[in-house]
Structure 1
Amino acid sequence: MASRAEQDAMRRALTIALQGPRGVNPQVGAVLLSPAGDVIAEGWHRGAGTPHAEVDALSKLSPDAARGATAVVTLEPCNHTGRTGPCSEALIAAGVTRVVYATADPGDHSSGGAERLRAAGVDVEAGVEEDEATGLLDSWLTVQRLGRPHVTVKWAQSLDGRSAADDGTSQWITGPAARADVHRRRARADAIVAGTGTVLADDPALTARAQDGSLLPHQPIPVVLGTRAVPASAALRRHPHDFLQYDGDVASGGLPAVLEDLRRRGVQRVFVEGGPAVAAAFLREDLADELLVYVAPVLIGGDRLAVGDIGVTTIEEARRLAVASVIPLGDDLLYVARPTSPPPTPAVRAGRERVGTPSSEGDA
């Protein structure tokens, strides 16, 4: 059972992990505690090729100063040699006698650090502040576990589940606080996905903007699903990044093929914001890791549902979700939800009969 000092140290480790850059490597923080529970050093991972968080913390101590110490780390210490050596070996060599970590390393080559530490007589405890660490590392963990980017599917709807009025008008269902939240979340993504139906109907910019309309520092790469051409006058063509469009040739393997191509391009976080058909396609394929549903206290009625057919024909097939949080945003509510069971692995998916292909609103 983690002590109060170790729990506090883990929360500190999670905070300092954010100082590291987001990229292909995980953001990791480490805090070293003396036998009395006092903080003696801390460190974080500063990017590919630099010392890992544990080694960074150890480097701030004189030789032998870590003997008998406890290392508190947000991710299981690695057990492989890449551009840097195994953190498990560094902790053993430093004389650390206890390691507390938040979440396990699922990597094929990097996992196994906990076993190596235990084999050397180090006391190891896992799962301290695991939920928060998993949230911090969600995109990296998804890439490691499933070989594809982490996918967030977002939509805005009325209280009766509609995304637009019968005449097709849909802008400003939600208020300014909700829209500002969407833009902040867009800025955390590496790519933003919309269908050609949405691009043609709404002419979205697919940028992440501040409330004054200026562009936020980080902009996701715009991705368009569908075969119809994007007009030369489209706002999308003025995006800071060139957009990627996946047509029948690229997407013949379905959405997994699109995500695989994005992963090869270095994309780890995908933000899906492309209309009812696109949202349904990701849900139907079990490719949504997180749902963001913005609900406005308005009634619209009609047939324009916020999500299309997801392949559910009976109530037993209903997709069960765990609501992680409900966030008030002005008069609106944001529901953050996740599937209650992990998505199928690539091997399982390969053996499953396909029930859908990439589509956009209007191209389904």
Structure 2
Amino acid sequence: MTDQPAWHGEPDLPAMRRALVLAAQGPLGDPNPRVGAVVVAADGTVAGEGFHAGAGSAHAEVVALARAGDAARGGTAVVTLEPCNHTGLTGPCTRALVDAGVSRVVFGQADPNPVARGGAAELEAAGIQVVPGVLADEAEALNQAWTFAFRHGRPRVTWKFAATLDGRSAAVDGTSRWITGPEARADVHDLRAECDAILVGTGTVLTDDPQLTVRHPDGSLRDRQPLRVVAGTSTIPAGARILDDAAPTVLFPEHDPALVLKALHEQEIHHVWLEGGPTLAAAFLRAGLVDEVVAYLAPILLGAGRNAVGDLGIDTIGAALRLEPTEVRTVGADVRVRASVVSLTTSHEEPR
């Protein structure tokens, strides 16, 4: 047992808040969810803490129980996610909790994974009191893309684009480097790093020859690189930078966004960062397969050139694809807008 003080106030909330802080230390872009756990001994003191450090490492409950030792017996395990009930790269956490002799298990989010869920019922069958749903919304927010993927059977898709104020992603001569400033470009790398895969079409590869890696401001590669994905049937030159050894790459000779996402879901990809050109972006939008938009708007005007998105099949303002802004902020000289895709409006208002 540690010499940490006992929790005060409502018995489970402080421990769950601490578990949420621990969980946030886990990696984003991992096949597994971020999970935190706190073991509270029978006398109310904190006996052990832990978080999941990524696929293949010990789960949060196992780490916390190991640190708690015998003090876990008769105590309470507070976990941000329902303890798993299956054997993967590691054993089931339900068995670890039963063997440790805890008397109560409190968890936040119910597990949406059909392979791993069922932990609550297993613990109750072993005579352990289970308290579900404590700070469930906060717990779910830790693993937004992971949860989305299991609920919808496909990865969550974020479409990122950079454009001028008049909606151009490239000039008439095709030049597009750089529309936004260095601060915005660095911000893109931070957001890329949170995703599992970066997706472009063959047209983008042939036109821009991007490397699609995640880099530090000094240009050096970050330790973890998302999967690079190229969709389309055009042949990619053998010397294309996207085929180098800086990060893994997969090629899908496919134009159907749903089939691409299905294949990625089967590879445990939960969050796709869509950086393709206007044609690929339009295909995903027309298919209803974009969930979030991250737009970087530069305070410049071109007046002509390539549009940020291709034809969406919309011919009247009443059918416009409406977005719900979730954040608007300046990044250097540019403006970043994050928005959720809501739905096609049924309004028939006249243009203003």
How high is the TM-score relative to the length of structure 1?
0.77
Q: What is the distance in 2 between the residues matched to 1:5 and 1:284?
A: 49
- Gap change, CA 1:11 and 1:174, over 3 Å in 2: farther
Residue 96 of structure 1 corresponds to which residue in structure 2?
103
Residue of structure 2 aligned with 1:160, choices 150, 157, 166: 166
Residue 224 of structure 1 corresponds to which residue in structure 2?
230
Q: What is the distance in 2 between the residues matched to 1:324 and 1:91?
A: 42
Residue of structure 2 aligned with 1:326, choices 325, 328, 342: 328
Q: What is the distance in 1 between the residues matched to 2:286 and 2:129?
A: 45
Choose 280-289 or 173-182, whichever is displaced more.
280-289
Report the alpha carbon displacement of residue 98 of structure 1 after superposing the two structures with TM.
5.4
Q: What is the distance in 2 between the residues matched to 1:321 and 1:3?
A: 41
Residue of structure 1 aligned with 2:47, choices 34, 40, 55: 40
Choose 58-67 or 2-11, whichever is displaced more.
2-11
Task: State, as a whole percentage, how many aligned pairs show the same letter.
Answer: 47
How high is the TM-score relative to the length of structure 2?
0.79
Residue 25 of structure 1 corresponds to which residue in structure 2?
32
- Gap change, CA 1:263 and 1:125, over 3 Å in 2: closer
- Are 1:41 and 1:57, in contact at CA under 8 Å, matched by a contact in 2? yes
Q: What is the distance in 2 between the residues matched to 1:140 and 1:107?
A: 9
Choose 51-60 or 150-159, whichever is displaced more.
51-60
- Letter in structure 1 aligned against 2:212: L
Q: What is the distance in 2 between the residues matched to 1:97 and 1:209?
A: 44
- Gap change, CA 1:322 and 1:32, over 3 Å in 2: farther
Stretches of structure 2 lacking an aligned partner (at least 5 in a row): 1-7, 344-352
Q: What is the distance in 2 between the residues matched to 1:184 and 1:163?
A: 21
Give 3-state SS (helix, strand or coil) of 1:188's partner: coil
Residue 128 of structure 1 pairs with residue 135 of structure 2? yes
Residue 148 of structure 1 pairs with residue 148 of structure 2? no
- Letter in structure 1 aligned against 2:63: D
Report the alpha carbon displacement of residue 180 of structure 1 after superposing the two structures with TM.
0.5
Residue 258 of structure 2 corresponds to which residue in structure 1?
256
Report the alpha carbon displacement of residue 78 of structure 1 after superposing the two structures with TM.
2.7
Give 3-state SS (helix, strand or coil) of 1:339's partner: strand
- Gap change, CA 1:226 and 1:168, over 3 Å in 2: same
Report the alpha carbon displacement of residue 178 of structure 1 after superposing the two structures with TM.
0.6
Give 3-state SS (helix, strand or coil) of 2:288's partner: coil
Q: What is the distance in 1 between the residues matched to 2:153 and 2:59?
A: 22
Residue 300 of structure 1 corresponds to which residue in structure 2?
302
Report the alpha carbon displacement of residue 92 of structure 1 after superposing the two structures with TM.
9.5
Residue 145 of structure 2 corresponds to which residue in structure 1?
139
Report the alpha carbon displacement of residue 272 of structure 1 after superposing the two structures with TM.
1.1
- Letter in structure 1 aligned against 2:224: H
- Are 1:88 and 1:113, in contact at CA under 8 Å, matched by a contact in 2? no
- Gap change, CA 1:130 and 1:177, over 3 Å in 2: same
1:110-144 CA-to-partner distances (Å, cap 9, x unmatched) read 2243455677573524151624x434323322332
1:169-220 CA-to-partner distances (Å, cap 9, x unmatched) read 2222211111001122223333322222222222222222222222222233
The count of residues paired between Structure 1 and Structure 2 equals 333
- Gap change, CA 1:159 and 1:73, over 3 Å in 2: farther
Stretches of structure 1 lacking an aligned partner (at least 5 in a row): 342-364
Choose 277-286 or 310-319, whichever is displaced more.
310-319
1:36-87 CA-to-partner distances (Å, cap 9, x unmatched) read 7643311223455654322331232243644253x33221223445552352
